[in-house]
């Protein structure tokens, strides 16, 4: 399998964690999201993903999958061990709720495209952009903090897609110096997950394209 990735992309980070948890080998194809105006816009990559974003998982049979949540659920369906979602439908919905708060409500507002729009079109200065970035993480984390049940992972003893979404998002929060004192549960969940080798192997600074 080939994973089109960028070391700093938190959506790609999620899929790297899932691939490592499943014990699957993959080749990383780096798409630099800022060099040359963003190599995601190059025609060769647009032919792979018309949305011009990472991650993309290219399977050995030629199929190409987009969107980190869809990729993780595909991996979970085809390689069920270890499971990334609980069996109970209510618990599955709770886990997906936390994953989606991060992947659908926090992350899109802090993505490369919207930040470039704030900077280049709306002429926001760097401190306004930082404030925007922090604001959306804090707003989302307030909900996540109330919804998780650390034990030690977000929903008990087993890692789920909630943990897989939390770890990259907290890495972004730290990179942008978001104060995390108000989120002891999220910080504890991150600490428990990052002790695991699959999470470690997926770290941005350990990727072949890390800078
Ligand atoms: N919802 C998508 C988000 C994918 C996404 O936005 N990836 C970012 C990097 S984290 C990207 O490629 N951005 C490029 C751009 O905005 O131009 C997912 O979960 O896979």
Ligand 1 atom at minimal distance to the Cα of residue 108: 6
**Amino acid 90: pLDDT:** 98
Give the residues of the chain that fall short of pLDDT 70.
none
CA 111 – ligand 1 centroid, Å: 7
| Residue identifier of the C-alpha nearest atom 1 of ligand 1 | 67
Q: Which of 127, 151, 138, 81 is nearest to 105 (CA)?
A: 138
**Amino acid 61: pLDDT:** 96
Ligand 1 atom at minimal distance to the Cα of residue 103: 19
**Amino acid 55: pLDDT:** 98
The structure's pTM equals 0.97
Q: Which two tokens stand for residue 77?
A: 């369906």
Sequence-separated (6 or more) residues with CB below 8 Å from residue 172: 10, 110, 137
């Amino acid at each position: 399998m080939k994973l089109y990735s960028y070391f700093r992309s938190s959506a790609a980070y999620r899929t790297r964690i899932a691939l490592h948890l499943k014990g699957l080998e993959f080749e990383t194809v780096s798409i630099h999201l800022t060099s040359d105006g963003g190599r995601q816009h190059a025609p060769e990559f647009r032919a792979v993903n018309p949305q011009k974003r990472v991650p993309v998982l290219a399977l050995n049979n030629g199929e190409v999958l987009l969107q980190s949540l869809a990729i993780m659920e595909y991996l979970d369906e085809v390689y069920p061990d270890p499971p990334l979602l609980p069996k109970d439908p209510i618990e599955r919905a709770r886990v997906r709720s936390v994953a989606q708060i991060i992947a659908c409500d926090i992350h899109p507002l802090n993505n490369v495209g919207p930040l470039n729009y704030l900077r280049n079109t709306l002429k926001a200065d760097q401190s306004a952009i930082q404030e925007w970035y922090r604001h959306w993480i804090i707003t989302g984390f307030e909900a996540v903090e109330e919804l998780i049940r650390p034990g030690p992972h977000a929903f008990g003893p087993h890692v789920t897609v909630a943990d897989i979404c939390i770890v990259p998002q907290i890495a972004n929060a730290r990179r942008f110096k978001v104060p995390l004192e108000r989120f002891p549960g999220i910080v504890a969940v991150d600490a428990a997950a990052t002790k695991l080798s699959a999470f470690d192997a997926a770290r941005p600074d350990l990727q072949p394209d890390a800078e």
